[in-house]
A and B are shown apart, each in its own frame.
Chain A
């Protein structure tokens, strides 16, 4: 209800601003023009949306599939952690956007280089938050488990892992937004498919209406994705504090 209302408010303000300040449509088209552009270009926009969505999902799930086990490894084995952690941080020092042209050279112009950028950019918050979550357990809890004779494996699976889930989901939510950025960045650098490609084309043709139409579609994709992750969070960890803080 509230989110629908807040979007309506934005659209009304947008429309009013265009009328009041007489902003030319090639700079900022009014919302209705953008909506009609979406309807007009729906055939092509739809195909590109699916392509970009697949890129985002592939990058995101690859990042989660690598980042979470890696974080577990780093927490379980301090030696391995010391070995893996510094080079991992080093990869984050390189701006991922700067890697996109290199990935085009390596992986060609298909979906792969875009997935690679999305993967790299989404990977880091998941690793960091999972590590923090797994380490963030009350020392007393570990003592208690030891007094119950629990072996380390059981402490990890029954205590550390469930205890880390809220943090892991925090990382996944940040990563879900970053995966969109990564996919788009990849598409900007060299592609003939995807919403990033449409954005570049529309910008080249000064087709501001299509540009805004693409931005709206992209925002919807990113938001649906984010809320999907949050929905899974709600289902998996209903007990989590932040879930209780703002009930829907």
Chain B
């Protein structure tokens, strides 16, 4: 057994939150029927409670259903069983008091940086003009001051993803869902954006559910890491990461960080994900 790792593993049955959890996922299942009639189980009986202002990562190999789980929380797809509650609301339709960032930045080519951030209001049928000043401030806060009138094709991948993050934050939602947001970026840009995200999260105190397949990224950013099994996606273990905040880039060199990474690596080895 490799369980003497110096980490605090929270057992899968400890849901993590108290009764007052902000997000409550209970017995959630999702099956997909293929054309040939075969049924694939993507998410299998997931129980997970997430507290307000908590940063939780869903970590697992490709195809383990972590993105499906995120879509279920957002109400973008219907569960086959179980339920999702956010605050006092049972999620049964797309949940709109939310900001989402996908791996693809999904910026509109025909709109400027500012226009792409303000699309959040236009899609909601609101007048974006009163929010323009705030949008400019937000754009400046992610280091894009002076780029407000640029078009997406004039920006680098990292800059585009920052704009996408601004679009997800401009309406100040309590909940931010991120689906491998930095997956398409180069390593350096990725580390910078992780630091920036931590700063934004610490100052705004939003609840973040972050999907990734990078162990280091999950440990660096999260309060808790939810390690998922390969298909069908179940929760293998929930890990509390007790590294002090704010975490600097070189926290990765500490023994505590390494211990967490090693522990998760061992979990993946146990599951046969890493040989």
Taking beta carbons and an 8 Å cutoff, which residues of A are in contact with B?
Answer: 138, 140-141, 143-150, 154-155, 158-159, 162-163, 165, 237, 239-241, 244
Contact = CB atoms under 8 A, between A and B. Distances in A.
B147 interface: no
Contacts of A145: 123
B102 A158 contact: no
Given A138-B104, A241-B153, A158 B98 contact: no
Contacts of A165: 110
Given A147-B94, A239-B151, A140 B122 contact: no
6 residue pairs, one from A and one from B, having the closest CB atoms: A148-B123, A149-B96, A150-B123, A146-B94, A239-B110, A140-B102
B76 A146 contact: yes
Given A154-B123, A162-B108, A147 B76 contact: yes
A149 B122 contact: no
A244 B96 CA distance: 36
Contacts of A138: 104, 106
Contacts of A148: 96, 120, 123-124
Nearest to A159: B108
Contacts of B119: 158
Interface of B: 71, 74, 76, 94-96, 98, 100, 102, 104, 106, 108-110, 119-120, 122-125, 151, 153
Contacts of B151: 239
What does DSSP make chain A's interface, helix, strand, loop or mixed?
Answer: helix
B94 A239 contact: no
A172 B96 CA distance: 38
**Of A148, A150, A154, A165, most B-chain CB atoms within 10 Å:** A148
Contacts of B108: 159, 162-163
A140 to B, nearest CB: 5
Given A144-B100, A154-B123, A241-B153, A149 B109 contact: no
Nearest to A148: B123
A126 to B, nearest CB: 21
A239 B153 contact: yes
Contact of B96 (A140, A141, A147, A162): A147
Given A239-B153, A244-B153, A143 B100 contact: yes
A153 to B, nearest CB: 11
Contacts of A244: 153
Contact of A149 (B76, B106, B123, B153): B123
A149 B94 contact: yes
A141 B106 contact: yes
A149 to B, nearest CB: 4
A158 B115 CA distance: 12
Contact of A162 (B71, B104, B110, B120): B110
Given A141-B106, A148-B120, A239-B151, 9 more contacts: A140-B106, A147-B74, A147-B76, A150-B125, A154-B122, A158-B119, A237-B110, A241-B153, A244-B153
B104 A158 contact: no
A149 B102 CA distance: 17
B98 A147 contact: yes
B113 to A, nearest CB: 13
B123 A239 contact: no
Nearest to B107: A141
29 contacts: A138-B106, A140-B104, A140-B106, A143-B71, A143-B76, A143-B100, A144-B100, A144-B102, A144-B106, A145-B123, A146-B76, A146-B94, A147-B74, A147-B96, A148-B120, A148-B124, A149-B123, A149-B124, A149-B125, A150-B123, A154-B122, A155-B123, A158-B119, A158-B122, A158-B123, A159-B108, A239-B153, A240-B109, A244-B153
Nearest to A240: B109
Contacts of A162: 108, 110
**Of A154, A237, A239, most B-chain CB atoms within 10 Å:** A239
